[in-house]
Amino acid sequence: MFEYSENRFQIKPSVKKQIKSLAYDELVDYLQAAGEEKYRADQILHEIFVNRATDFSQMTQLPKHLRKMLAEVFDITSISLEEKRVSADGSVKFLFSLADRKFIEAVYMPWANDDGEVERSTLCISTMSGCPVGCAFCATGTLGFKKNLSPSEIIDQIFIVEQELGTKINNIVLMGMGEPLLNYENVVRAISLLADEKTKVISRRKITLSTSGIAPRIRELAHSKFPPKLAISLHATTNGTRNKIMPIAQSFDLSSLMDAVEYYYRHTKMKITYEYIPFDGINDSAEDAERLRKIAQRVPSRVNFIPFNDISFTKPQGVSFELKPSPPERVARIADYLRSHKIAVIVRDSFGRDIEAACGQLALSREK
């Protein structure tokens, strides 16, 4: 089933500033410099983040002259919804365009109980257009790096999806296009705006940031105002294998990465998630299972086994061409081995296979 959203939320290039990218103190400074009272900043944040105003004219608790001034200086929405694709499993993939006509995507994933009722809704959002990391198993990396997203462009993915679906997102995962910790300042600011008590969008404990392992930034993130849950895109238990499938691992080896992970846990006391795609004959041996056990037991954590989604449409070469998914029975044996050592394990299935919901696919086709 396909649904297309034609010309909704269309954004044109603008020299205006994005108001959702401003920290509270910056908004206060702007207002006071314009001769306005500080409390107006609280009203504006409430209108944008709680009432979800999409136009300054809707902010009727503000005086008319202030609404006019804000509209002249700021944009309130920063991305455009280009396309929406709905899967038979209930997941929905959204394609957004930026003001400069670069593309990003987000994927909505509903988690239902045995009665078919949605108990939890998760939105996977992007932090970049394209990605500079170049993991062998990811289609997005073939785009190369296009741009870092602003805080507003990160936040607007959530707001537009909630408006489109008429539902409340109660889990956010920064696992879409891009490496969040290579867009550190904008990502941290977006999380701060979402988790702040003034905006009441979502708790930081309902936000998960997935990283390929930028060790210095992991340590820095531990001291941010609202540190999120941390997911490590691990995928290998030796430096040699990890370097082969994740080029960025050459800059941050497993030793430095694990030291950073332990540091993060000690300062946040939040369990770590390890993401692991089992590849046939590459990272799925009994020895890999034992090394993965040791990694997972260093701090309280869980392991998510993720299926390898087909990226043949990218015409992969080299290492990417060699990658094949591990047989399900081998994955099950590794999972059972970890569970026998009291490690929490989840073997994931893919949402939205019928709509090419693997990261980067839709944006890739539109970009090219």
> Is residue 105 annotated as a catalytic residue, yes or no?
yes
For the cut 50, the answer to whether the pLDDT of residue 6 exceeds it is no
* Of 105, 179, 275, 356, catalytic: 105
Query: What pLDDT band is residue 84 in, cutting at 50, 70 and 90?
Result: very high
- State pLDDT tens for residues 159-184: 999 999 999 999 999 999 999 999 99
Q: What residue ranges define each of the domains in the chain, with the CATH number in brackets? A: 17-75 (1.10.150.530), 102-367 (3.20.20.70)
Across the chain, what does the average pLDDT equal? Answer: 90
pLDDT tens-digit series, residues 185-230: 999 999 999 999 999 899 999 999 999 999 999 999 999 999 999 9
State the pLDDT at residue 352: 56
Q: What strands, in cross-sheet order, belong to the sheet with 171-174?
A: 2-3, 79-86, 92-98, 103-112, 118-124, 171-174, 207-211, 229-233, 272-276, 301-305, 344-347
Catalytic residue among 124, 135, 138, 359: 359
Q: What percent of the chain has pLDDT over 70?
A: 88
Which is it for strands 229-233 and 207-211: parallel, antiparallel or unpaired?
A: parallel
Q: 153 catalytic, yes or no? A: no
* 267-324 residue pLDDT tens: 999 999 999 999 999 999 999 999 999 999 999 999 999 998 777 666 656 677 788 9
- How big is the CA angle at 294 (ends 292 and 299), to the nearest 5 degrees? 105
Give the per-residue pLDDT at 54: 96
What's the pTM?
Answer: 0.91
